[in-house]
Amino acid sequence: RHGYCGGRLETLMARLVLICVLCGQLALGDLLGELNRTKMYEALYRSGYHSQLGLSHAGPLIKHFVNPAYAHVPDRARTRVLDVGCSHGRGVEMLWRHGYCGGGSDLAQTAVDMAIKARVPSAAIVARCGPASGAEIFRQGSAAALPWPSRHFAAIISTDVLEHVPEPLIPSVVREFARVARDKLFLMIATQPEGASIRRGHEVHREELRAQVGTENL
């Protein structure tokens, strides 16, 4: 059910604006594609996407991550873990409950704002992990340009995110994950729909993409 699969619809969007001129680590066309994807996800979140704050796709992945047979993390209390594509922050909250110092990033600022409002660290977490400000815990940014210093986290987790990354950005995402994580990556990548709600999510994505690229051929 999970493995590597490039996001076809988002890849089409990126290719429509792809210009083969390097601009830092990314091609200019890739940057324009990323801006389009950011606008798309902003529209989705503002229309109620992921509005159920008690739900998260991260649960099964975190269940594996916290298993000592997998993670081999000796000191959870001081171990920083980044959730890439954190949405409203439920996965980060779950990491806190398991004793980790969790942080999150998302492409959509609206999602980050939801996380800052919904996930307030307790005094014990602040004392153990450091930053009290939600803006320091949750940050807006692309998986291809993570807004964190190098080697800032011991591990990165990411759930049902990477299948949406356009193929031209995959090398940049790999480099960023390797730059920011010191040790481990736990990634869950969907390769097929998992239920009616997921299928509806795909339909919403398709509708937004059709509105942006102006074609019925998606």
The answer to whether 203 and 193 are in contact (CB under 8 A) is: no
- When pLDDT is averaged across residues 147-167 and rounded to a whole number, the result is 91
C-alpha–C-alpha distance, residues 52 and 60, integer Å? 17
What's the pLDDT score for residue 4? 31
Beta bridge pairs of residue 159: 188
Find the helix or strand (DSSP H, E) in which 116 lies: helix 109-118
- Our CA angle for 175, 99, 152, nearest 5°, is 25
The answer to whether 81 and 156 are in contact (CB under 8 A) is: yes
Say whether pTM exceeds 0.85.
no
CA dihedral of residues 42, 95, 190, 87 (deg, nearest 10): -10
pLDDT tens, position by position, 123-140: 988 888 886 667 789 999
What's the pLDDT score for residue 157? 93
Q: Is the pLDDT of residue 142 over 60?
A: yes
C-alpha–C-alpha distance, residues 163 and 165, integer Å? 6
Q: Of 95-109, 131-145, 170-184, give the lowest mean pLDDT range.
A: 131-145
Tell me the angle at which helices 109-118 and 28-46 cross, rounded to the nearest 10 degrees. Answer: 50
What's the pLDDT score for residue 36? 73
pLDDT tens, position by position, 179-217: 999 988 989 888 766 554 445 555 555 565 555 545 444
Query: By CB neighbour count within 10 A (0-12 exposed, 13-18 middle, 19+ buried), where does 54 fall?
Result: exposed
- Give 163's pLDDT tier (boundaries 50, 70, 90): confident
What's the pLDDT score for residue 152? 93
Query: What is residue 4's three-state secondary structure?
Result: coil
What's the pLDDT score for residue 110? 93
Taken as a whole, the chain contains a residue count of 218
pLDDT tens, position by position, 31-88: 445 667 778 778 777 777 777 788 787 888 888 878 776 655 556 667 899 999 999 9
What's the pLDDT score for residue 32? 47
C-alpha–C-alpha distance, residues 209 and 218, integer Å? 8
What's the pLDDT score for residue 143? 94
What's the pLDDT score for residue 60? 82
| Residue partners of 174: CB distance under 8 A and separation at least 6 | none
Contacts by residues 44-51 (CB-CB < 8 Å, ≥ 24 positions apart): 44/108, 44/204, 44/205, 44/208, 45/108, 45/110, 45/111, 45/114, 46/110, 47/204, 49/201, 49/204, 50/87, 50/88, 50/111, 50/114
Distances from the Cα of 154 to the Cαs of 88, 97, 117, 145, in angstroms? 22, 17, 25, 18
- When pLDDT is averaged across residues 97-108 and rounded to a whole number, the result is 93
What's the pLDDT score for residue 199? 52
Q: What is the mean pLDDT of the chain?
A: 74
The type of residue at 185 is: L
